Amino acid sequence: MTEGPSYDVAVIGAGVVGAAIARELSGYDLRVALLDARDDVGEGTSKANTAILHTGFDASPGTLESRLVRRGYALLSAYAETTGIPVERTGALLVAWTEEELEALPGLREKAVRNGYSHCALVSAAEVYEQVPALAAGALGGLTVPDESIICSWTTTLAYATEALSRGTVLLLGHRVSSVEPGPCTTTLHTDRGPVVARWVVNAAGLGADLVDRLFGFDRFTVTPRRGELLVYDKFARPLAPRIVLPVPSSRGKGVLISPTVYGNVMLGPTAEDLSDRTDTSTSAAGLEFLLAKGAALMPRLLEEDVTASYAGLRAAIDRSDYLISADGSRRYLLAGGIRSTGLSASMAIASYVCEQLMVAGLALVPRSDLPSPPRMPQIGEAFVRPYQSDELIASDPAYGRVVCFCEKVTEGEIRDALASPVPPAGVDGLRRRTRAMNGRCQGFYCGAKVQGMLL
């Protein structure tokens, strides 16, 4: 057995799921390590999604995913209020464009009820246009989902990681697990920065979860990266999308939507394309063309606005249509895999379910009585008071009055705070996710040099 620091539980993967699990586990009397191959938390799928806090209205009833998304919605809604994660309760509107889609709406409302969500309502074409006047002509009717919300996915992962650290979790970044050495009472994870020894291991490795699972001797699923490309429209477009506009879902997934973002933009996407390369988050000409055609059909006026950015995320699709969360007491190992397109919404419920499963498998969970208060995260949502808008804050510290990024109104004080935070950024991209600096219309053309200078 190779020597190394010893933990009760090592969580592999510091995405939104792994960070939520580490936070939850460190609420018990356990020494927890959170490992990731990358140099920042939330660098995988968790940084590039559509950032909708789903109610789970359209999940497959009876699945674990349906149960955990519903529960996760409630838990994350409350946690967001406590910690200051930006959430806007915009609601969503499913729009039927064909007779077939119109006929599917009552069934979707019944499905929502079977998923424990009873607030959907059928609306006429006239009401559809009252709710979203900029939609293209030809909508036949709609279904409202009043509680679908938009959230900051970046702040969510950071809040979990920050709280996990304040509870004693050790964050081991740059630790790619490449092999596993089981022992009688502990498992040694071999990483490119040395061994990590733990009694129990949780695999929350997202796109790499099947590969890590094989290291533990299993061969039960394969991850197929399903790329979703998205276009981000400038803030002038925001009045066009007062709520999330959803298509009627198909077997391929949720389809292309138009959604406001908590940063004041509008998003169009995502595509759904199966790839073989688990790292290919590039955008493509075909994806752009497809989205522009969809946008033109759904909301022609949106295409008159400027696109400020495009990006792609990879869903960890697996060969079954539910989460695959399974504990093995004999190996002291738990897999949290197949968390494909709802993992942000379900993250807190997944974490609590993982703890239940670990306990059933034999891990003793003794709640701690000495937990620190949850963190209060920096406010980067457009609908809330930002530091540059707070006279009180600026009076107490003039750095909050010195704007560095003028497109997104990010101040010197916020960048300084992010650099000194418990989970500091590893580079410019991490700083963007913590502050919004360089995310605006100029994409850092004007402020880039100053922002980069502050990183040095």
Residues serving a catalytic function are 54
Which residue in the set 155, 162, 345, 439 belongs to the binding site for ligand FAD (CB under 6 A)?
Answer: 345
Quick one: how far is CA 17 from the chain centroid? 9
Nearest approach in angstroms of CB 326 to ligand FAD is 15
| Residue number with CB closer to ligand FAD (380 or 447) | 380
- Backbone angles phi and psi of 436, in degrees to 5: 80, 0
Determine if 344 is a binding residue for ligand FAD (CB under 6 A): yes
Q: How far is the CB of 140 from ligand FAD (least distance, A)?
A: 25
Residue 416 near ligand FAD by CB under 6 A: no
How many residues does the structure list for the chain? 456
| Nearer CB in complex with ligand FAD: 168/174 | 174
114 scored as a contact of ligand FAD (CB under 6 A): no
Q: Does 247 bind ligand FAD (CB under 6 A)?
A: no
Kindly tell me which of 54 and 111 has the beta carbon lying closer to ligand FAD.
54
By the rule CB under 6 A, 80 interacts with ligand FAD: no
Beta bridge partners of 119: none
Options 7-15, 323-331, 362-370, 402-410: segment touching ligand FAD (CB under 6 A): 7-15
Q: Please say which residue, 357 or 411, places its beta carbon nearer to ligand FAD.
A: 357
Using CB under 6 A as the binding rule, the residues of this chain from 285 to 324 that contact ligand FAD are 313-315
Q: Does residue number 10 form part of the binding site for ligand FAD (CB under 6 A)?
A: no
Residue from 270, 295, 413, 444 binding ligand FAD (CB under 6 A) = 270
Q: For residue 25, give the nearest of 157, 195, 168 by alpha carbon.
A: 168
Name the phi and psi angles at 128, rounded to 5: -55, -45
Query: In the range 33-72, which residues lie near ligand FAD by CB under 6 A?
Result: 35-38, 43-46, 49-52, 54
How many residues form the binding site for ligand FAD (CB under 6 A)? Answer: 40
Site for ligand FAD in 379-398 (CB under 6 A): none
Q: Of residues 131-190, which lie at the interface with ligand FAD (CB under 6 A)?
A: 176-177
CA-to-CA dists, residue 296 to 136, 137, 140, 196, 285, angstroms? 8, 11, 17, 52, 16
At closest approach, how far in Å is the CB of 251 from ligand FAD?
17
Only one residue has tokens 């803030």, namely 235
Structure tokens at 288: 């752009």
Q: Count CA atoms closer than 13 A to 367's CA, side-chain side.
A: 3
Q: Angle at CA 194, nearest 5°, toward 193 and 200?
A: 110
Distances (CA, A) of 394 to 74, 389, 405, 419: 34, 8, 16, 19
Q: Shortest approach of ligand FAD to residue 123 CB, angstroms?
A: 23
Q: Applying CB under 6 A, does 228 fall inside the site for ligand FAD?
A: yes
- Beta carbon of residue 88, minimum distance to ligand FAD (angstroms, whole number): 13
Q: Is 337 in contact with 318 (CB distance < 8 Å)?
A: yes
Q: Which residue in the set 180, 202, 204, 302 belongs to the binding site for ligand FAD (CB under 6 A)?
A: 204
Per CB under 6 A, 207 contacts ligand FAD:
yes
Shortest distance in whole angstroms from residue 393 CB to ligand FAD: 31
Cα(204)–Cα(184) distance, integer angstroms: 23
Question: Could you tell me the smallest distance in angstroms from the CB atom of residue 262 to ligand FAD?
Answer: 12
CA 323 – CA 311 distance, rounded (Å): 25
* Contact between 206 and ligand FAD per CB under 6 A: yes
Q: Kindly list the residues in this chain that would bind ligand FAD in the complex (CB under 6 A).
A: 12-18, 35-38, 43-46, 49-52, 54, 176-177, 204-208, 212, 228, 270, 313-315, 339-345
